[in-house]
Amino acid sequence: MASSMTLRGRGGVYISAALLRLLLVLVFPGLPDLLTGRVEISTPVTSFKRLQEGLFLYNHNVWPYDGGVYHQAPLLLPLFSLLPDIKTWPIFTSVLYVAIDVLSADALCRIAESGEAGQSRMFTSPRRGKRATGPVVAAAFLFNPFTIASCLGRSTSVFTTCAILHAISRALSGSAFNAMVALSFASYLSMYPILLLPPAILLAFDRQPDKRRTGNIISFSAKCLAVVTSCLGLLLGISFLLTGSSWEFLNRTYGIQLTLSDLTPNVGLWWYFFIEMFDSFRAFFLAVFWLHLASYVGGLSIRLRTQPLAVLTILLGIFAIFKPYPSISDTSLFMAMLPLYWHVFALMRYTFVASATLLYATFLGPAFYYLWIYAGSGNANFFYAITLVWSLGQSLLVTDLTFAVLRDEWEVERPDMVGKEVKQI
């Protein structure tokens, strides 16, 4: 009875979210194009307008990367070429994006129902009973305004989000092979998810079925690495054939993220810094920024070895702040994982401040961008200042969650300190 009620609740959430998105598209037909042009939603590596440019060239047998506009994965082109012309039948593209959102929510629901956030193989939280149900977690994701805006704005980052969530879901279900394949697809689309590989391997290792459990983590990791390498090799090989037997697409897709050659404004921290950077120092600071982004992976994976899902959640929050081309879609993915840790929300200290900061930046960000670009009464500092506030709000949320997870773990080791205030001297 409880299972059937859960299924009905899950189905109701999915149908309601899908209908809401389709209703917004039908009632406000100009809304998708409006959102597609917003820098908060579209970046040079996720923009639907740039995808259309690449698709036009692809359909006319021209190399899709000519002109320096299209910077996304080659395999997206044959996928979207199967859809009817968006100008004549835009509803089919909208239905595709709605379906991807629902698939992402379903994977998130399975992650929540696994109970991994409160009880892993090596750690059991005393607060694990206070957890959000799968449909509630899915609803928090589907009805998040950032998720809806990313869907309606047709950002290609929704495909990466879906692949990441399915990788985590498959790892929790004990299917390490499928998890690595899904993570390979996410890395192929956006590159940065490859940094999630170490905690994803630990999660898959912990959740192995007893009948085929591998006790040696080194051999298990080697197998996972072989799967990821093979899958990425296959995807890149198909892309090589698709782009006229040329490896130049690597420079146009992943190279732009490594070198930040497109300095289009976004909600991240990189673009303004490198606009002001002298060319002689550019390579050094690119290396520093990438090293900073990657440095969190090892430390978190070692320190929170007992909770690999927490490592994945915290890393998603860090990537939403410090990756080269972030958008609100990355923030919505991190926020989708937050309800999994409902049981430690009571230990978080700055939720109000972080929420207020994010709301402040959400409302003022478009206003500052308008003052800079359209009204001409401001400059780039206006918009960059509000993106700093946006990043501050996310940083507060990430650090607060990290504190809550560590405090929960520490209270298990030191039960005499439960409820007592701790200060670092």
Segment-wise mean pLDDT, segments of 10 residues, the chain, 425 residues = 63 94 94 93 94 92 88 94 89 95 96 92 90 92 96 95 97 95 96 96 92 86 96 96 89 93 92 90 94 95 95 97 95 96 92 94 92 85 92 96 94 80 67
Confidence at residue 209, expressed as pLDDT on a 0 to 100 scale: 87
Find the length of the chain: 425
How many helices and strands (H and E) does the chain possess?
Answer: 19, 0
The CA-based diameter of the chain, rounded to the nearest angstrom, is 70
pLDDT tens digits for range 134-148: 999 999 999 999 999
Residue spans of the domains in the chain: they are: 1-255+264-417
CA gap 152, 150 in Å, rounded: 6
pLDDT tens digits for range 364-404: 999 999 989 888 787 888 899 999 999 999 999 999 999 99
Confidence at residue 323, expressed as pLDDT on a 0 to 100 scale: 95
Confidence at residue 317, expressed as pLDDT on a 0 to 100 scale: 96
DSSP E strands: which ranges in 252-395?
Answer: none
> How many angstroms from the chain centroid is the CA of residue 85?
28
Taking the model in full, what pTM does it have? Answer: 0.95
Confidence at residue 310, expressed as pLDDT on a 0 to 100 scale: 96
The answer to whether 188 and 238 have CB atoms below 8 angstroms apart is no
> How many angstroms from the chain centroid is the CA of residue 336?
9
Alpha-carbon distance values, 280 to 21, 224, 269, 285, 354 (Å): 47, 40, 20, 10, 37
Q: Position 413: which residue type?
A: E
DSSP one-letter code for 254 = T
Q: What is the CA radius of gyration of the chain?
A: 22
**What is the SS3 assignment for 126?**
coil
